């Protein structure tokens, strides 16, 4: 058997005499970091909007950092309900016999995919009530969401939560101490599915941040020496407004879909698990919204071009001289 990665630490700590799970402390730190990054992005977006004379005046609303806490709290109920519904779909055979088990907190647990989706919907509902610019909020929250999901998955390693299939691969992990751990058989070598998913999601976040500057690189010559330069900043269609958030959701869905092949859950449709089917639906919905937005934007641009052409035609016709009445005298 190949050597595996062994963790020799406890699952809990006792600061001030209180027993707390290390994973819980790490997740709390991740949530705080996500809120902090979102607040920082709110300030940058607000500065950019104020620099444009017609930017904030288009919808009459500006990003407010004090709305962030209300929007975050508004996302909690949707996240809880979505997590429970997602868990019910994954274990449908267990819950369909008695659907009332879904509202029993002692029966089963939570899942992530629908928690993100419904949490986003209820958070946007609160932003709507606050008359906040939803498109800008989604733009700001896209990358912090990916970072939070990726770091949150890595934090699960501290509690042996989300361990994958048992394996003797060289990158498998096992926990030497007794726990209490959140995955069954944590003392046996298993694929670290949570770490794999976290790494893929963080890679997607880095890609969203790094690709636009890389595409702006242009070679420039300076005294017979070529040096890199940056082209003027431009707004990438998939990385601006609400589309930036949908792009982040698509990348997260792909990363989670790939990591799910290492899970212990049973197969329900061919080689796919129930969570992967949900992820396919989420990915397809995001792509459909993006395509519908592209079609709508193209129609608006075409209508604006037609209106401009009609206006130009009317102006040109008004500038033509009016025909004189009567017959012209013959030339001699």
User: How many CB atoms are closer than 10 A to CB 160?
Assistant: 26
CA distance 179 to 161: 11
Work out the pLDDT band at 99, boundaries 50, 70, 90.
Answer: confident
For 159-192, how does the pLDDT look when each residue is reduced to its tens digit (9 = 90+)? 999 999 999 999 999 999 988 999 999 999 999 9
222/114: higher pLDDT: 114
Give the pLDDT confidence score for residue 306 in this predicted structure.
85
For 278-320, how does the pLDDT look when each residue is reduced to its tens digit (9 = 90+)? 999 999 999 999 999 999 988 988 888 888 888 877 766 555 5
For 203-241, how does the pLDDT look when each residue is reduced to its tens digit (9 = 90+)? 999 999 988 777 777 666 555 555 566 666 667 788 888
Write out the H or E segment, with its range, that includes residue 268.
strand 267-269
Please say whether the dihedral angle defined by the alpha carbons of residues 184, 185, 191 and 192, taken in this order, is positive or negative.
positive
CA distance 271 to 59: 47
Q: Which two tokens stand for residue 110?
A: 């939570």
Please tell me what DSSP assigns to residue 321: P
Domain ranges of the chain: 20-166+186-215+237-302
Res. 57: pLDDT tops 50: no
Q: What is the mean pLDDT of residues 251-267?
A: 95
Res. 28: pLDDT tops 80: yes
Please give the backbone phi and psi of residue 313, each rounded to the nearest 5 degrees, phi first: -65, -40
Residue with tokens 């080689």: 271
Q: Are 78 and 118 a contacting pair, CB within 8 Å?
A: yes
Name the residue among 137, 149, 139, 143 with its Cα closest to residue 71.
Answer: 137
Res. 2: pLDDT tops 70: no
Q: What is the mean pLDDT of residues 142-169?
A: 95
Q: Are 182 and 285 a contacting pair, CB within 8 Å?
A: no
Preceding peptide of 250 cis, ω within 30°: no
Write out the H or E segment, with its range, that includes residue 21.
strand 20-21
Region of poorest pLDDT, from 31-40, 116-125, 221-230: 221-230
CA distance 238 to 246: 8
């Amino acid at each position: 058997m190949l050597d595996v990665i062994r963790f020799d630490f406890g699952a809990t700590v006792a600061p001030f005499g209180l027993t707390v799970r290390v994973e819980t402390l790490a997740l709390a730190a991740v949530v705080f970091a996500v809120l902090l990054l979102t607040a920082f992005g709110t300030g940058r977006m607000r500065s950019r909007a104020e620099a444009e004379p017609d930017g904030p005046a288009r919808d009459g609303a500006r990003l407010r950092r004090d709305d962030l806490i209300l929007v975050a709290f508004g996302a909690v109920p949707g996240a809880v309900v979505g997590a429970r519904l997602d868990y019910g779909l994954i274990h449908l055979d267990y819950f369909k016999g008695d659907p009332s088990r879904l509202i029993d907190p002692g029966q089963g647990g939570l899942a992530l995919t629908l928690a993100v989706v419904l949490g986003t919907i209820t958070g946007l509902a609160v932003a709507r009530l606050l008359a906040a610019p939803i498109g800008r909020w989604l733009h700001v929250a896209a990358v912090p969401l990916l970072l939070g999901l990726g770091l949150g998955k890595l934090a699960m390693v501290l509690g042996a939560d989300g361990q994958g299939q048992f394996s003797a691969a060289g990158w498998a992990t096992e926990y030497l101490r007794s726990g209490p751990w959140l995955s069954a058989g944590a003392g046996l070598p298993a694929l670290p599915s949570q770490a794999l998913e976290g790494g893929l999601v963080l890679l997607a976040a880095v890609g969203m941040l790094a690709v636009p500057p890389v595409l702006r690189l242009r070679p420039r010559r300076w005294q017979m020496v070529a040096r890199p330069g940056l082209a003027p900043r431009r707004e990438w269609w998939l990385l601006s407004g609400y589309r930036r958030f949908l792009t982040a959701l698509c990348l997260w869905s792909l990363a989670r879909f790939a990591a799910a092949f290492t899970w212990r859950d049973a197969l329900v449709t061919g080689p796919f698990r129930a969570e992967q089917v949900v992820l396919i639906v989420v990915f397809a919905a995001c792509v459909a919204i993006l395509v519908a937005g592209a079609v709508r934007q193209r129609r608006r641009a075409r209508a604006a071009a037609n209106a401009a052409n009609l206006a130009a035609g009317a102006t040109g016709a008004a500038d033509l001289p009016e025909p004189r009445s009567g017959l012209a005298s013959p030339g001699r």
